[in-house]
Structures are given as structure tokens and as C-alpha cells.
Chain A
Amino acid sequence: MRARDIPITAWIGMFGIGLAFFCAVFAPLIAPYGETDVVGAVWQEADAQFFFGLDNLGRDILSRLIYGARTTLFVALAATVISFSLGILLSFIAAVSGGLIDTVFSRFNDLMMSIPTLIFALVVLAVLPQHLAVLILVMAILDSTRVYRLGRAVALDVAVMEFVEAARLRGEGTGWIIFREILPNTLSPLLAEFGLRFAFSILFLSTLSFLGLGIQPPTADWGGMVKDNKDGIIFGISAALVPGTAIAALAVCVNLVVDWLLKRTSSLKGGRGDA
């Protein structure tokens, strides 16, 4: 595949994701002010010195946005990676083993999925202590149910192929069949799904933070910044919309790349077409 085969929309998406990751990695170097430094009056207008103005406590919004990219991307990425590893592993084990294991895993998954994700998260977070690791794990486990469903469907398609049969007859173990036979042949649709789940994680984390149940202050995070500045809206101060736009833009960028990946893989087996 050559670079010019990639559509312009996918390039825009990749540029946006790259920019966000750049901000996250080099936050202390490029942010003009500190994450929690009060540098001026409350909700000061944007000017040459403060690009996006100041927030509800007089902190620089641009700096907090850059530091926030760090928290938001790290938590969302960590949750997605864990949920993916968990979902794929369990679904492949279910698809390869079949029988009782498959039934038990799948029924339990159905049960988990019969409660809306946000509601489930609210119930669980009401009990658990407020901690970053807890938040990541809750997000990951709830999201892995969706990965499991797709992973099982894709793996079942591959598991009945002749080359898997041949591997079984050779006497390969479950581990070999999962990682050497099925995984390489399902990588394409799974990659697109990874992007979708990542976009969802960003939105989900932002929603939780917005509701006051995600990242706790004073750590900057995009959803929490919306919550901090929401009272300004009534006075016509749009400070809350800046982090909101950042969340939306990043999610759009991820979706643009996913769209391109899906179009590329939709002709392959297990591709999901337009859905």
C-alpha cells in the first residue's frame, strides 16, 4: 500500500491523533503555564497571552488542555488495550474450545451486555473507591464485553477453515491455534474495532469525568474541564466548549481513520461493511 492510496480524510484523522499524542508526550515542554497554576482573573477573556482564556479558577485553558491530553489519552488507551486483550483472549478461547466453555462465557457476556454500559459503570463506581486504576479497570472490563462479541464472531469464521483443522491434526495446542492460526487471520477487522473502542473510551471517560465520577480534580482532563467551566455557559462564557471541542475533534479523527480501515477490510471475511 502506498501513501497516495490513503484518502485525505484518513490523513486528517491521523494528523489529529498524532497532534494529540504529541501534546500528551511533550506536555511540560510545550504548555505555556503549569497544570494547576492560577495565572489571572476568573474566566478572563482570550487574548494574545492566554490563547483560549482562563478557566473558572483563573488557570490557563490552553495549558490545561495540553496536560489534559495526557490524562485523557493515557486512561482511554490503557482501558482500550486491557479491554482488547481480555476480550480477544476470552473470545478466542471460547471459539476454539467450543462446548461448555463457550456456552458459559457467552451467556455471562450476554448478561453483562443486558445492562447499559454507563448504568453499570455508575452502579460499580458507587461502591468502589475513587482511584485511577479502578477507573481504568472498570472501563476496560465493561468494554471487553463488546470486544468479546465481535472477537467470537470473527474467530468462529476462521476456526472452521481447513488450515486450522490441519493445525489441530498436527497436534498443536490451543495456545498455538489462537496466536499462530486465528489471530493473524483476524487482525484486519480487529484493528478497525480497536479504533472504534478507543474512540468510545475517550467519549466514555469524558462522560464519566463530566458527571464527576471519572478523573478527580485538580488533575486536568478534558471531560472534567467541561464540568469545571459549565457554569460559565449561562453568562455566555464559552470556556467549557474548548475542551468539549477537543474531545469531539479527537473522536472525529479516530473515526475517520476507522472508517478508512473498515472500507479496506469490508471485502474480507468478518468485515462489518457499513454498519
Chain B
Amino acid sequence: MSSPPETGSLQGLKFRERFPLLALIIERLLLSLVLLLAVSVLIFGGVEALPGDFATTYLGQSATPQAVANIRSELGLDRPVVTRYFDWLGGVVQGDFGTSWASRNSVSEQVGNRLGNSLFLAGFAALIAVPLAIGLGMLSVHYRNRMPDRIINIISLAAISLPEFFIGYLLILYFAVNFGIATFPATVFDGMSFMDRLKAIALPTATLVLVVLAHMMRMTRAAILSVMSSAYMETAELKGLSGWRAIVKHAAPNALAPIINVVALNLAYLVVGVVVVEVVFVYPGMGQYMVDAVTVRDMPVVQACGLIFAAVYIFLNMLADILAIIANPRLRHPR
């Protein structure tokens, strides 16, 4: 933290100089907001600019021009793009994502139910994966270039190359079908007890953990290793600190900022991994909803899901940057 300036000169100082940390954080928040707005334009505008039309897809190639015009006006597609964009954005800000073209239901209602399910699944996977990855990363650094490190390295290299659905089906085949100790499909519904819910998401969670674990661990290892090669670590070694003590007390705190970054990056990746895993396990979340909508070209649903996924992704990246600013003294006092 900066030392408090003398009270007499407070008026003369700008906000930026008085609270450099706060100013940086606010700057980062505003940047994310601008980014989110730009993404909304990209998702809406991109969809409009690309060729392809729901009305003709929906009615088939042989539809009469009159029928196409009818359905276009019914869905409001005959109004100018800019008007529709601001209508859409105005609704989104108030939590209204419009109505689905395919089912004529409210998109917000579906999203409300499913977003909770997805976040529950991803959050639970993160809860297991993050401590495990950081612990394994530190273990790997401790034994670097020796047998445990090599084994972890080879296994993680293999794990990075496995597609999510392959891990998912492998787990289903062994744990649900052959041994019968887990449930498939992972159905959850309202009023389900917490323990039942946990049991249902055991396999999807395990899949997600395996998917992000290797990435996170390798990046943690790299982050700590780069700190390990600095001069003060040599000093720690020369003054006779034990290997573990040097890692935990000296290396880890300085590797905090890059590790936070790694974690947030992988949590963002988790959000995407959820899409495939939900389809594999027939889990009623956002990912399944989006994939179904893409198949029938139900644009309001696709746009809503796209925007929400992007928002979560941007939010996590922003969180990482802000935490890194707080964790790194050099960023707290730029120049």
C-alpha cells in the first residue's frame, strides 16, 4: 500500500495519485465493460452480417416468398438491424433475452434454471482441481527432473491430448456400466437433495477435473520454476533452507501472481469444457441448451448463451488481472 500523503496537500492531488491501486482496478473494470459491449456487438452484428436466414431454413427451400415474409415479420426480422440490436441490448440489460424461435418459450427462464446447474458443476470441479493442481505443481518442482516429476510430466502430457468426450465415455464405461458405482445420465431436477445432486454430478465433475488439471499443473510448474531460477532462491539454498521451506516460504508467494493467472485462465477453460461434458452426460445446463439451439439455428438462444459464456469468460479474466494487480507490488506502484 502507498504511504498516506499529508492531509494538507490532499486537495491538490488527483484521484489517480492518491489511490493508484483503486484507479488501476477501476480502469480494468471499465475496460471489461467496454470489451463486453464490443462482444455483444460482435455476437449480434456478426450473426446478422453472415449469410443464412432462419425463415428459409425453418420453412425449407420450397417455401413461398409470402410465407417467408410472414415469418420474418412475426419474428421482427424485417426491422432495421440497429433498431433490433438496441432492443435486444435493452432487454438483455434488464435480464430479458427474448423468446426462443423454436419453442416460443422465454429464453431467460430456461437460462435461469440452467445457468445455476452449469455453475454448480463447474464450481465443484474447480473446488477440487485448483488445490490439486497447485499441490502437484509444487511437488513436481520439488522433484524436478527426477522420477516423480517425469512421471507427472508424461501423464499430464497425455491428459492434455485427451478430448473431453473421450475421458467422459471412458469414465462412464468403467464406473457406471462395468462397476455400477456411479450414475449415468447425470439428471438433476428441482427439489433433489444435495447429496443426490452430488452423486449425479460425480462423473461429469471428475471429467472436468481431469481436463483442466494437467494444464493447470504444467503452468503452475512453469511459473514456480521461473521464480526458482532467481537470485534470492539461490541465497535461500546457500543459507541452508530445506527444499520444501524454500518453495513454500520464498518461491510460492512470488509465483502467486502468475499462478492466479493460470488458475483463472483454466477456470475460464472450464466454462467451455462444460459445453462438451454436459452433452456427454446429458446434464441440463447451458452448454447442452446452446448446442441444441445451434443445431436448429434458434438464434435468440444462441445469442443469449454466447453472450453469457463470453461474459463469464471476460469476468474471470478480469478477476485474474485484478487479483494479480493486488498480489504484485510492482503493479501496485507502476514506474
Interface 1/0 per residue, A230-254 and B, CB below 8 Å: 1001111010110011011001101
**Residue A213 lies at the interface, judged by CB distance under 8 Å to chain B:** yes
Q: Which interface residue of B165, B268, B271, B276 has the most chain A CB atoms within 10 A?
A: B165
Q: Is B47 an interface position by the 8 A CB rule? A: yes
Number of interface residues of A (CB under 8 A): 48
A119 touches B309 (CB 8 A): yes
- Determine which of B169, B222, B290, B293 lies in contact with A275 in the assembled complex, contact meaning CB atoms within 8 Å: B222
A116 touches B38 (CB 8 A): no
Q: Please, how many angstroms separate the alpha-carbon atoms of A197 and B241 in the complex?
A: 42
User: B295 on the interface (CB 8 Å rule)?
Assistant: yes
Q: When chains A and B are docked, how far (Å) is the Cα of A203 from the Cα of B173? A: 21
Given the contacts A240-B169, A241-B169, A274-B222, A122 and B35 also touching, CB distance less than 8 Å: no
Q: B184 near A: Cβ within 8 Å? A: yes
Interface membership of B310, Cβ < 8 A:
yes
In angstroms, Cα B177 to Cα A257, docked, is 36
Q: Is the interface of A mostly helix, strand, loop or mixed?
A: helix
- Give every chain A residue within 8 A of B107 (Cβ-Cβ): none
Does A210 belong to the interface (CB within 8 Å)? yes
- Whether A124 sits at the interface, judged by CB under 8 Å, is yes
Whether a CB of chain B sits under 8 angstroms from the CB of A3 is no
Cα distance, A240 to B172, chains bound together (Å): 12
Contact with B along A180-202 (1 / 0, CB 8 A): 00000000000000000001000
A101 to chain B, nearest CB (A): 19
- Judge if B303 is at the interface, Cβ distance under 8 Å: yes
**In the complex, what residue of chain B is closest to A129 when comparing beta carbons?**
B52
Residues of B within 8 A of A155 (CB): none
With contacts A115-B313, A241-B166 taken as known, whether A126 is within 8 angstroms of B177 at the C-beta atoms is: no
Are A211 and B276 within 8 A (Cβ)? yes
Residues of A contacting B309 with CB < 8 Å?
115-116, 119
Residues on B with beta carbons closer than 8 Å to the beta carbon of A275: 218-219, 222
| A-B contacts besides A212-B295, A230-B280, 12 pairs, CB < 8 Å | A118-B275, A118-B276, A122-B294, A123-B303, A124-B50, A213-B294, A235-B177, A236-B173, A244-B163, A244-B165, A248-B158, A274-B218
